[in-house]
Structures are given as C-alpha cells and as structure tokens.
Chains A and B, each alone.
Chain A
Amino acid sequence: MFSIFRDSDQLETVEQQLVEMLTNCQDTFRLGTAAVFGEMDVTEAGDLLDGVDKNLNKTERAIRRELLVHGTVRGAEVDQGLMLTYMSVAKDIERIGDYCKNIWNLAQMGVNLSDGFDSDELTKHCERVAGLIKAALDAFAEQDVEKVHKLIPGIKDDAQHYDRHLIEFVNSDLPGRVAAPRALFYRYIKRISAHLANVLSSVVMPVDRLDFYKKSKAIDTE
C-alpha cells in the first residue's frame, strides 16, 4: 500500500511512457504492413494490432493525467514548456498508431500490395518507414540533437517523394482497385513520417515551434 509513496521524477516516467509508445508504434506498423503485404493473416494481425493500439491509447490518457497531476502538485515550479511538449508528442505518437491501423484497414478491405507491379518499391518504402520509427525512437529516447538534425531533412524529402506518388496515383488511368489503395498507402506513410518528424522536433525546437522544424530556429542553434 505504501508503494504509492515511492518517490520518482514524474516527467521521467512520462518520458519512459513516450518511448514505450514509440516502441508500440514499431509493432503496429509491422503488423499493419505485414497484413497488407500478405505476410500475415489479416484477422490475426488485426487482433494483435488492436491490443497494441489500445495500449497506445491507454498510455496517452495516462500521460495526460500524469501531466495534469504534475502541474497541479508542482504549481509554479512546473516546467510548463516540457508539459506542453509531452502532451503534443503523445498526440503525435498516438496518431502514428492510428495510421498503422489505417494500413491494416486496407488489408481488411482485401488489398494485397505484394502482388503488384510496384511491390519492390512499396516494400522498400515500408522498410524505410520501419527504420525511421526505430531511429526516431532512439533519437527521442537519447534526446540526441545531432541525430534529429540529420533525420528530419530526410523525412521532408521522403514526404515530397510520397506526395509525388500520391498525385501520380490520383491522376493515373489505373483501375481504382489498384490506384486507390496505393494512393492511400502513400498518404498514410507520409503522415506517419510527418508525425515522426513532429516527435523529433520536440528534441530541438522551442515549444512554440513544435512541429515546425527549421534548423536556424532550433534551440541548439546560436
């Protein structure tokens, strides 16, 4: 019963929860893409993904509560900037989970991206995003400023590339059952990448510029 009176740094706990959420995102992305590339049974992947997604949502709510308690207990001493940052980061990570679920939804609708003309490229993009989630997780957990400055420009380039594909499929003469899932897939991985960039921006950007990365405005830039 007295364990509730164990001391701890609450913001450190929140940071650990955010890292745990990013780890969950690795799982949700793996499950979503495994289903849409026919590497895993759709129902089985869906069940597993649902469990991880529920955990993501639960952790986001817990973080909100803990930050509220932290602000209430600490009053004027509280680091308001950090609290607002973590609220924003939790939302971004939760959204990544949602987009992974959207990818799984494509599989649920009968889409299989492994048997198309562009399966190699799509697989390559999947690997890139999976690698990006892992890199973002590490950079965020270590608060590695240099790594963040390297990752974000790459994500911006990726986003432009995904957009070009999206526009291409929207305007293509391919049948809807081929073009539409691909357009959606590119849209989803673009959003996942963008939310990862937002998470990373929390390491280097001031609170008012969260999600709006600009190297010259980063807090480590003189």
Chain B
Amino acid sequence: MEDTGAQPEGPTRKPFLGLNETVGRLGLAIFFLYLFLVGVKSLEKGISSFGEDFVDQVFSNVANPIAGLAAGVLATVLVQSSSVTTATIVGLVGAGVLPVESAVPMVMGANMGTTVTNTLASLGHVRQSAYFQRAFAAATVHDYFNLLSVAILLPLELAFGLITKIAEGLADRVKGILPEVGTGSSPIKSAIKAPVSWMTDLIESFGWSAALGAILLVLGIGLIFLALWMITRQMKAVMSGRIENAINGVLNKGAGAGALLAGLLMTIAVQSSSITTSILVPLVAAGVLTLRNAFPVTLGANLGTTVTALLASIAADSPDALVIALAHVTFNILGILVFYPWPKLRGIPIMLAERTGEAAVRHKSIVAAYVIGLFIVTPIAILLIT
C-alpha cells in the first residue's frame, strides 16, 4: 500500500560554519569571558563585604586539608564544573578569605570532582557489556589519575608545601614579567571593576546595603556559571571541526605527546575538560580508541582546564589569586610528570581503570557504589567527621 505521509528528510548537506558566524561566535565568547571576569570580581567583592566573622567561619571549615579536599570534590560534583569551583576558589583567595595553603587541597578536590561527568557519561553504554566495560574504564582512568596524584602530592604539599612553593616561585616570575599582575592597576582590571562598582552603587541606592555581600556573591556565581556555559557553547561550535581533526589525528597517530597536546588545546579552546573527556568515552567504548591512547588526551584535558583559574586570577586584586591558579597548574603538571613519562607508572591508572571496568560489568552494583561512594558519600562523610 502506498503511504501518503510527508516525505522524510533525505541526505542533505549542512552548510559549513561561515566566516561571519565564526567571527560572531568568537566575539560572543570574548564578551562572555569579560562577564566571567566580572563574575569573579563580583564574587570576590561580595565575599569581602561579609566581614571577618564570615572569613573566620569559612576558614575554620576548610582549615583541615582533607576537609578542603572533600569540599572541592563535593562542590564540583554539585555544580558539575571544576571551572566554576576553581574560579570560586580563586575569588575566595583573591578576597583574602582563604589562604593559598588551604585552597590547594580544595583545588585538588575540584580536579577529582570534575571526573564525575564522564563517569556518568559512560553509564549510557550500560546495555552492552563489552562497550560498557571499555566506557567505564575510559571514564575511571581519569579518576584514578587524579586520586593517585592526590595520594602522592597532597602529603608532599602538607609536609613541605611543595606545590605552594613552586606556584609562588612561578607567580614571582610572572610578576617579574607583568608587574601589574596582582595589583588593581591594569586597564583590564579597571574594566572588570567598573560594572561591579555600578552594581554595588545600584544595590546601595535601593537601600539593600545589608544584603550587598549576598547579592554580589549570588550575582558573581551566576555570572560565572552563565559565562562559562556560554563560552563553552560558542567555542564548541567554532572548534568542532578542529576537535574532530584533533581526535582523528589521535586515532591515526596513536598516543604520545601529540595526544596530550591535543587534549590540552581542545580543553583550553572549549574551557571544559568534561567535554574533552566525555568525547573519549564513546570512542573507547566503540573500540576505535584504546584506553592507552585515550590516557594522554585525558591528562592534557586535566591540564587544559587549569586555564580557567588562570583567567579568573586576572580579575583578582590579591597576588595570592595568581598563586592558587598556578598551584592548580603545578598540581596537574606534577601529576603528569609522575604518571606519564615512565611506562610502568603510566600503566598503574590504566590497569586500575581496566580492572574497575571488568568489575563493573560483572557486578553492576559496583558502578552505583563507586559513583555515589567516591563522589558523594565519602566527601560528605569527611566533611561531617572533620
């Protein structure tokens, strides 16, 4: 019998992103980058407005480094973005609420928390055992790298202040080259401060001075969220073709420094490590990318996401904001230096992830226990205990 319904869509070519759209999207991304910095500044100003009691309360809550680590994990899991968490931490440090030493474990926690996104993405493959085994391994290799890095570097930080000292040294070098960093004098900082001053004046003109801190804080976090979301959206649209090329390059050329660089550049471009790592999960699940070849891309993504904190530090007045942003970079570089160059050490997170993938397929309950236990129950328990 002849069907008389509307003709379905046939194969048609979608137009390639034109120059005008590319320029337009890049312009929007720059605008939202500015809004992001305004958001960080607003957050910083809002926190400063709360007074010393608030500062003492926040500090007492995260003075314990394990609690700081747990807070970083939990905050990132809740907001589903390490960029938002690290930008907030930079704002807290910039406002003088949080000392760098206390912020370092929080940044490590943010690094760990961000991996929940691709772990959740891997659950999409749960119907097919072989696919799911590879997908879960691809997701958890990121977790294991972060966990192992924290296990090695947090004690070194607590005992010797290793990461803080390196970050301070790097910050001194940056300040040697760019003296306006960490001061309120650069034209960019003036441009960022202006809207926050207008918002402050507006809030005070309404007679809401008592709530000034809370309003600026909420506005700041809202702007950070919105701006990062929009930057990621615009940049993903502009960069999709290049990301495909980069991934195809990794598939053709295999693992190595090129794959690490591809992960780094992709993440810097889209301002989200979750996008990069979540792209890897289905490719590993489908078997076209091996876990061993996906691993350096993951490491690159981990490092690339630290750029957000560096950008956030532009908005902050305190030089410590740059130090904590550089501490984030340092933590990831040290992690890579420990777990990438030597094949035996490189094999540890890969082997752990493969075992976890195998176990997840045998007992699906392990998956729920892993996700809820690692990302929710453990951090909450640590926060309650400490």
Contacts and interface: CB of A to CB of B under 8 A. Distances in A.
Contact of B245 (A6, A11, A218): A6
A217 B7 contact: yes
A43 interface: no
Contacts of B347: none
A10 B249 CA distance: 13
B244 A206 contact: no
A114 B251 CA distance: 46
A207 B251 CA distance: 28
Interface string A211-222: 000001111010
Contacts of B288: 64-65, 68-69
Nearest to B258: A1
A65 B248 contact: yes
Contacts of A206: 7-10
B197 interface: no
Interface residues of A, number: 37
Given A65-B251, A72-B283, A206-B9, A4 B245 contact: yes
A142 interface: no
Contacts of A72: 247, 279, 282-283
A204 B14 contact: no
Nearest to B288: A65
Interface stretch (A79-87, A92-100, A163-171): A79-87
A85 B11 contact: yes
Interface in A95-147: 143
Contacts of A73: 240, 243-244, 247, 279
B241 A9 contact: yes
Interface string B58-78: 000000000000000000000
A202 B11 contact: yes
A177 interface: no
A65 B7 CA distance: 30
B173 interface: no
B240 A74 contact: yes
A7 interface: yes
Given A5-B265, A72-B283, A66 B248 contact: yes
A70 B248 CA distance: 9
B261 interface: yes
Contacts of B7: 206, 217, 219, 221
B330 to A, nearest CB: 24
Contacts of B286: 68
Interface string A1-20: 10011111111100000000
A69 B251 contact: yes
A5 B245 contact: yes
Contacts of A5: 242, 245-246, 262, 265
Nearest to B253: A4
Interface residues of B, number: 31
A46 B248 CA distance: 32
A157 interface: no
Interface in B1-53: 2, 7-14, 16
A173 interface: no
B12 A82 contact: yes
Contacts of B261: 1
A143 B261 CA distance: 38
A79 B10 contact: no
A9 B9 CA distance: 21
Given A4-B246, A65-B248, A11 B13 contact: yes
Contact of B241 (A10, A65, A205): A10
A69 B244 contact: yes
B10 A81 contact: yes
Interface in B267-313: 279, 282-283, 286, 288
A219 B10 contact: yes
B14 A11 contact: yes
A68 B243 CA distance: 13
Nearest to A71: B282
A6 B242 contact: yes
Contact of A204 (B10, B246, B248, B258): B10
Interface of A: 1, 4-12, 64-66, 68-70, 72-74, 77, 79, 81-82, 85, 143, 202-208, 216-219, 221
10 A-B pairs with least C-beta separation: A219-B10, A4-B249, A85-B11, A206-B8, A9-B16, A7-B241, A206-B10, A10-B244, A4-B246, A69-B247
17 contacts: A1-B258, A1-B261, A4-B258, A4-B262, A10-B248, A64-B288, A65-B288, A66-B248, A68-B286, A68-B288, A72-B247, A73-B240, A74-B240, A143-B13, A207-B10, A208-B8, A216-B2
Interface of B: 2, 7-14, 16, 240-251, 258, 261-262, 265, 279, 282-283, 286, 288
